[in-house]
Structure 1
Amino acid sequence: MVDRTANTIASAPGRPMAEGCAERDLMSAGLIAAYIGVDIGTTGARAVVFARDGQAMHASTRTYPLLAPRPGWAAQNPGTVSDATTAVLSEAARWARDHSYSVRAVGLSAILHSVLPMDANGDALDDALIWADTRGDDEARAIRASCDPISLYHRTGGPVHPMYLPAKIRWWRSSRPEIFGSAVTFAGIKEYVLRQWTGQLVSERSTASGTGLFDLHTADWAEDLLEIAGIDRARVPGLVEPTQAVDAPVGWKREVGLPDDCLIVAGAGDGVLQTIGTGVVSPGQMVAMVATSGAVRAVVDRPVTDDRARTWCYYLAEGRWIAGAAINNAGVVLAWLREQWAQVAGAMGGREPTLDDLTQWASEVAPGSGGLLFLPYLAGERAPGWNARARGCLFGLSLSHDHRHISRATLEGVAYRMRTILEPMEDVAGPAREIRIAGGFVRSPLWMAITASVLNRNLTLVDSPEASSLGAAILAMRATGDLASLEDAPTIADVGNVSPTAGWTSSYDELYAQYESLYSVLAPHWDAISAWQASQPA
């Protein structure tokens, strides 16, 4: 089912900060320039209308289901995603037109690491496998056994892992050979949507750099990497720059409500765009994001990789790169915990707990949760260990613990995971002079305080709830020439600071050392338990 939500964020924004010739023409016609950032996410698409100063004025959202019929599978129906994305764009364009805005350009953001097989007409032959899909884990292990994985990592910016395209494409070859053989092209969900809109099949270099098929140093598809995946260059899209406009038929623009001269800008990956959308644009700045997953990212001026392959590096635009490290298990773990309590409450006929209830319970116990440690590997692991077979563990459980301790241990477990990726990030990108925070966890003062204390860092809270869409709109502004450079992007306001809590940091330092030790002890057992789990009926 596709749900629809549209909301106006502000009704009377100020005039654009800068007015070029085209903008002055619009002003003389009684119109104001606007830009739309479209974000194709894991479970929904969102289109946000921005003014030139970066103010979000209106947002339209459609949701769609995540297809997960088996453990380790996570996919999207391409047609459903395309329909939802087109609908939110049309709604946003209509709002802009009705409020005397002329949309100068549309920029696209989308999840990284997705792939689907397409025929010669651009039609999907199967579902799109997304970043969370690990069905190609056996293929990833085969690649690691046959190649030098560290050498591949330094070239591609990402370690050999089932999240990346070589393992996924090889899965089609071994498990669905008829689809693999029929596929003319393998491309991501954004490329599929752009093909439906424009009739052109292109991939911008930002999304391409997150595939495992792209050489960071030549900024191009690599023939030997494609060969590892079992395909050749003829079966991947042509490459364009993230700030490049893709020609779109005027008839289609009119159909969705865009002006004839509106540019459709290729854009970049969502995590890459979220970085600049939170105001991280210069060396020494990092953003720590905790939402469904979590990440720490920084802007760098060249490709940077880690000697132990703990981080990744993807292209942004105009000679800038994003170095980062990500975790699978963040807000999804808290949502899982809430669902467990909700099922118990439902069975007993009581009220189902909310996320606020969980954080309230967590606040009622001391830091360290009475010595209860939670390794939150419910969806495998990305950085720094990159083990898709990692599994979760509650350690130290005793009769003295109750639902409150489990709730706090969950928040602390995610914070420990954020520390495990901040440390390698500073090794490759240098010490962070500022860490800006974003994502759903900013709604919880306790979770932010725990995170600041585990990291033992001051954190800057930023007002950027539409970070990925804003990043896409910023690239759209560059494409029109209305933005002179990425450094001139709209300023993202700071709305507060979160400091470590006195007395908490020493406890968390001690428990973090135990957390790291426990990880090392458990890691050798994950293959066996994940294999047993996979053998059981669904």
Structure 2
Amino acid sequence: MTAVVVGVDLGTGGARAVALARSGSVKLWMYEPFTGAGSWPPGRADPAAWLDGLGRLLARVDEAGLPVAAVGVGGQSPTTVPLTDDQSRDPVGWAATCRHPAGIGLDRTGQHLAQLEFLSHEAGRPLAGAQIWDWALRCLGASDIQGLWPDEETVPGYGERVEVGTIIGHCDGSLGLRAGTPLVSASNDAYMSFWAGGLGTPGRGHDPGGRTGGLGVAVEAVQRPAEIPGYFSPVAGVEVVGGPTNGHGQLLEWWSGVSGRSIEELLTLAEGVDPGAGGLVVLPYHDGERAPRWESRLRGEMHGLTFDTGVAEIARAMLEAAGYGLRHVHDELRSAGVEMDVMCCGGSPALSRLWCSIKASVLEVAVDMPERPEQLSAHGCALAAGAALEWWEGVGAASMDSWPLAAMTRIEPEPDEAYRASYERFVALGDAAVARLDQPV
């Protein structure tokens, strides 16, 4: 039986995994929901459910008869697991996830430390903290480490720094995984998605999707505009610029809950609405906005409601709003000289060809739609595990040639004046919303 590396992405509501052979062939796609996740308080999670989901994934690999050569784990970030000390495996109550208000608006390190301060106050004593994937690997037998993407800032007190693709221990037999199996550090889901999506060619962009979105564009490091911060791409000499947005998959989740229609039904209804959503423009700032406005006080708005506006038009406007948010980031980059000629869409939103095509047409660039977009981060974690075994090169390689990247289908843009006009309104309405924030009531 062919040996595989297993990449695991511990997400918001469940764990996803990919079993990848050295040849690049995917032997198994897996998903296990976290028990009880639907009833968790906002911004909180039960670490025991995370571990249970991971165990069920590993059991499925074993049931398939696939020998596991290594396991790499990554996940959502910033998320803090509260622990009694830096050697402990046992959480002290609930974890704080990236949706928790502690530290919102701060950088990743600041948010982690704010989460830990909140959790320590809740427990009534000082606690140690760990990233979700570091803690999960520790529960399998790894040491106290902090798995990071190259050049990511080390969070004080969260373990010894190691970079993606490092063997940080061997399994002790926990969760049914064979004792002695190499355990490999991955990193946060966005970086892992970037890797599997091939974000190493200048001019290529990536939207990691998920409940929140964003846009990263690859540029030659020597050509990155000095005023724009960048971070490492998987390829040496190439950096990524851009930023995260708040309103994405969670927009449709919210409208599904309010309207009482399933997401699948909303997507079908939206497909029957013409570009421009009947003049309706949504500002997807329900939870504030990150790039490019960086204003947490903003709130969602709808403009252009009429008596003819229905569930379908609002659903269509939600899809378009996510595209306008990406274009807003893109236009800021373009004004600094950063161009994008193709964008990969990841996460569950990219399961919708309609949504991918709207993004392509709004941005007026081609879009690559992965075969399994919701599994991109897990695929990246598998790449990290394989790199640790020297099956292929690791992060910092001279090119992407050795990596078995995700399979893609290309969608060409269909520009439309309705999108262009609505985008201009989107920006103008957002500017007005920001201006109102500091006006006297």
TM-score bracket for this pair, using the shorter chain length: 0.7 to 0.9
- 2:425, 2:177 → 1: CA distance? 57
Aligned to 1:398: 306
Aligned to 1:471: 380
Aligned to 1:34: 4
Contact 1:241 / 1:317 at 8 angstroms: preserved in 2? Answer: no
- 1:177, 1:289 → 2: CA distance? 33
What does 1:356-505 align with in structure 2 at a 5 Å threshold? 356-426=264-334, 430-465=338-373, 466-484=375-393, 486=397, 487=400, 488-501=402-415, 504=416
Aligned to 1:53: 23
Secondary structure class of the residue paired with 1:125: coil
Aligned to 1:204: 147
Secondary structure class of the residue paired with 2:67: strand
Is 1:131 the counterpart of 2:83 in the alignment? no
- 2:238, 2:58 → 1: CA distance? 28
What is the TM-score with the length of structure 2 in the denominator?
0.86
What does 1:176-255 align with in structure 2 at a 5 Å threshold? 177=121, 179=123, 181-183=125-127, 185-206=128-149, 209=152, 214=153, 221=154, 233=156, 235-249=157-171, 251-252=172-173
Residue in structure 1 matching 2:46, options 70, 77, 82: 77
Is 1:507 the counterpart of 2:418 in the alignment? yes
Secondary structure class of the residue paired with 2:279: coil
Contact 2:266 / 2:312 at 8 angstroms: preserved in 1? Answer: yes
Amino acid at match of 1:407: A
- 1:128, 1:358 → 2: CA distance? 32
Call closer, same or farther: CA 1:248–1:423 in 2, change over 3 Å. same
Secondary structure class of the residue paired with 1:496: strand
Aligned positions, number: 431
- 1:318, 1:175 → 2: CA distance? 38
Unaligned runs of 5+ in 1: 1-30, 138-160, 215-220, 227-232, 343-352, 533-538
Decide which structure has greater helix share. Answer: 1
Call closer, same or farther: CA 1:207–1:404 in 2, change over 3 Å. same
Is 1:279 the counterpart of 2:202 in the alignment? no
* 1:35 CA displacement: 1.0
Task: Report the structure number with the largest CA radius of gyration.
Answer: 1
Call closer, same or farther: CA 1:521–1:317 in 2, change over 3 Å. same
Unaligned runs of 5+ in 2: none
Amino acid at match of 1:57: K
What is the TM-score with the length of structure 1 in the denominator?
0.71
- 1:383, 1:523 → 2: CA distance? 13
* 1:429 CA displacement: 8.3
Secondary structure class of the residue paired with 1:32: coil
Call closer, same or farther: CA 1:398–1:491 in 2, change over 3 Å. closer
Contact 2:131 / 2:158 at 8 angstroms: preserved in 1? Answer: no
- 1:483, 1:168 → 2: CA distance? 32
Call closer, same or farther: CA 1:481–1:301 in 2, change over 3 Å. farther
Aligned to 2:178: 258
Secondary structure class of the residue paired with 1:246: strand
- 1:63, 1:303 → 2: CA distance? 43
Amino acid at match of 1:285: R
- 1:291, 1:36 → 2: CA distance? 21
- 1:497, 1:50 → 2: CA distance? 26
Amino acid at match of 2:50: V
* 1:167 CA displacement: 4.4
Identity of aligned residues (%): 23
- 2:251, 2:192 → 1: CA distance? 24
Q: What CA deviation, in whole Å up to 9, does each residue of 1:45-64 have, x standing for no partner?
A: 12321112332222333222
- 1:289, 1:32 → 2: CA distance? 30
